[in-house]
Amino acid sequence: MPREITPSLRHGLRPTFVVEYPAIVDSKAQKELDASFNAGLRLLNTVQNEALIRIEMVRQSSAWADAKKLPKTITKKGKPTKNPERAKAFEAVKKAYRFTEFELQDYATLVAKRSKWIWEKLDSQSIQKIATRVFNAVNKILTGRALKVRFKNNRSFSSMEGKQIGTGIRVDKKMQMFVWGKLRCPLIIDWDDPCQKHGWDSKWKYARIIRRELNGKTRWFVQIVCEGIPYQGRENTQPLDAKVSIDLNISNVAYFSFKKAGLKPFADKVPTFEKEIKVIQRSQDRSRRINNPDNFNSNDIVFKGKKKGRKVKRKGQIKRGKKLHWNNSKNYRRLLHKRRELERRKTAYARSQNRALANDILRNGGKHLNLEDVSVKGWQRRYGKAISAKSPGFFQSELLRKAESAGGVVNKYSTQKTACSQTHLDGSRVKKKLSERIHYDQTGIVMHRDLFSAYLGLFVHQDGYLSVEDAFRQYPGSEPILSAAWAEFQKRSSDKARPSPRSS
């Protein structure tokens, strides 16, 4: 479905938003688009390989080592500020080894012209944008924000964009169609949708084309990046101008404000398709073993049980140490597309529910957030499967993005300094096991652990200091709000645990 993405106000950028429209693509246009995307894929991998060579030369140079020895901050007018000389030294080293955005753009243009067929399929702006995309990805390795970059394949390379709306990849406003060279594809625009109409009437910056695989078929969409803010006409979707505290868990999120509180699950009522996916995986494994017997080791017999008296036939594992050639049947590829569609639907459902949950918190709680500075990536090592199913990291990023886009203030505080799950209203700290979900306060208060942590988080100031005195003084007026949220959570849990009646 067409969707509207809210703007980003981070790092002082101008507010922008994205409106998406489906495109009508016939067989001839799809063949041309596939060829253009194939050219973009080959060019991106080639430029990325060259960029990795250049950053390795940068990292091994003595000038880069000298630049790292410079102090990160200096004192200016009595205040610590970033050292400009250090940044200039880094930029000078990158420029000396030709690792800059403009150098990579020149290299991408040279590669495209020499290959001829890439130059015929892509315009100059798309080529430059591919080089910029590579530079931004590889530069994260130098800045320490990434360890490596991955090369693309036909599935992962799913978008191309231009630099200006007037040339290259563009949209004809009068004809209501997507234009790229000689290619012209009509757009499906729902004029009854105020979001789509608002995006169409806004000022455009540039456009991109998206390729997605839905139900085993390729679908094409056009995204227009617009200046300004998205449609704000719906009153029930406006965020509340109030302060709210968030407490993230593996599967639930608790929030509290002086108007409302709640404890709600991530990705509620989302189908996991576990049984269907496991059936498909077993069928795929049987198909691969039948069609590729030389790629597997021979089966063996193992003994299991306490006395190791039960014989079990164990299937041979995939051979290692050499590149294998796989012969996949049509049935295997059919099952592969079916499994991909189930995975896509599961992810789409989870993201939709988590977006709705973020909107609900902003509408009922507020847009000024207080939350713990936790890394969901650390949870993945211990709770990998639960994190994959519930996606708390996606919820957190969406909540922060939507709050900042609405003009809210985000305050992240340290869990070690505050320890909201261990702190009592008398100021003492008592450690709890992770399985203990009820908080028995030293003052006699009994409350759900996550809701109580969210309540205490509301009294964490910008400097990271938790004011227990203020929390103790205002708890009597806040207890009815917390109790109502806990009762709602218990009712929801009992309804899920209750078996559904059998149909006669």
Q: Which of 1, 2, 10, 6 shows the shortest CA–CA distance to 225?
A: 6
Residue 177 within any structural domain of the chain = yes
Q: What's the mean per-residue pLDDT of the chain?
A: 88
Bridge partners of 225? Answer: 18, 206
What average pLDDT score do residues 294-299 get?
89
> CA 189 to CA 195: how far, in whole Å?
11
SS (H, E, C) 87-129: HHHHHHHHHHCCCCHHHHHHHHHHHHHHHCHHHHHCCHHHHHH
Q: What is the pLDDT of residues 202-212, one digit of tens each?
A: 999 999 999 99
Look at residue 499 in the predicted model and tell me its pLDDT: 55
> CA 108 to CA 110: how far, in whole Å?
5
Residue 85 within any structural domain of the chain = no
Look at residue 503 in the predicted model and tell me its pLDDT: 39
Residue 193, pLDDT > 70, answer: yes
Q: Which of 264, 254, 260, 263 shows the shortest CA–CA distance to 240?
A: 260
Buried b (16+ CB within 10 A) or exposed e, 21-60: bbbebeeebeebbeebbebbbbbbebbbebbbebbeebee
Domain match, 359 and 445 both:
yes
Domain match, 427 and 393 both:
yes
Whole domain around residue 448: which residue ranges?
A: 239-268+353-497
CATH number (domain holding residue 423): 3.30.420
Residue 207 within any structural domain of the chain = yes
Residue 179, Cβ density class (10 Å: 0-12 exposed, 13-18 middle, ≥19 buried): middle
Residue 415, pLDDT > 50, answer: yes
Look at residue 445 in the predicted model and tell me its pLDDT: 87
Structural domains of the chain, count: 2
Task: Pull the structure tokens for residue 382.
Answer: 């211990």
Q: What is the pLDDT of residues 442-478, one digit of tens each?
A: 888 889 988 989 998 899 888 888 888 888 888 888 8
**CB neighbour list of residue 11: distance below 8 Å, 6 or more residues apart:** none
Whether residue 24 contacts residue 175, with contact meaning beta carbons closer than 8 Å, is answered with: no
Collapsing DSSP to helix, strand or coil, 405 comes out as helix
Strand order in the sheet with 217-227: 4-5, 16-22, 217-227, 204-214, 159-161
Q: What is the pLDDT of residues 303-337, one digit of tens each?
A: 887 777 788 888 888 988 888 899 999 999 999 99
Whether residue 390 contacts residue 251, with contact meaning beta carbons closer than 8 Å, is answered with: yes
Domain match, 129 and 209 both:
yes
Q: Which of 69-83, 108-122, 319-333 has the lowest mean pLDDT?
A: 69-83
What average pLDDT score do residues 411-431 get?
85
> CA 367 to CA 359: how far, in whole Å?
10
Q: What is the pLDDT of residues 1-23, one digit of tens each?
A: 334 444 444 444 578 889 999 99
Concatenating the DSSP letter of every residue in 270-299 gives: ----HHHHHHHHHHHHHHHHHH-GGGBPPP
Residue 345 within any structural domain of the chain = no
Domain match, 157 and 253 both:
no
Question: 207 or 422: whose pLDDT is higher?
Answer: 207
Residue 119 within any structural domain of the chain = yes
Tell the residue number behind the tokens 């320890």, with chain if given.
419
Residue that terminates a domain, selected from 200, 227, 254: 227
Phi first, then psi: give them for residue 362, nearest 5 degrees: -70, -35
> Binning pLDDT at 50, 70 and 90, where does residue 504 land?
very low
Domain match, 250 and 177 both:
no
Look at residue 13 in the predicted model and tell me its pLDDT: 59
Domain match, 117 and 246 both:
no
Q: Please report, as a single letter, which amino acid is at residue 50.
A: E
Domain match, 55 and 198 both:
yes
> Binning pLDDT at 50, 70 and 90, where does residue 172 land?
very high
Look at residue 6 in the predicted model and tell me its pLDDT: 44
Domain match, 218 and 263 both:
no
Domain match, 212 and 264 both:
no
Look at residue 223 in the predicted model and tell me its pLDDT: 95
pTM of this prediction?
0.79
Domain match, 115 and 23 both:
yes
Residue 430 within any structural domain of the chain = yes
Q: What is the pLDDT of residues 234-267, one digit of tens each?
A: 766 788 888 999 988 888 899 999 989 999 998 8
Residue 310 within any structural domain of the chain = no
Domain match, 104 and 250 both:
no
> CA 67 to CA 95: how far, in whole Å?
14
**Between vectors from CA 333 to CA 327 and to CA 336, what angle results, nearest 5°?**
125
Q: What percent of the chain has a predicted confidence (pLDDT) above 70?
A: 95
Domain match, 16 and 105 both:
yes
Look at residue 376 in the predicted model and tell me its pLDDT: 81
Residue that terminates a domain, selected from 197, 227, 257: 227
Task: Pull the structure tokens for residue 429.
Answer: 């700290």
Residue 405 within any structural domain of the chain = yes
Whether residue 353 contacts residue 270, with contact meaning beta carbons closer than 8 Å, is answered with: yes
Residue that terminates a domain, selected from 207, 227, 247: 227
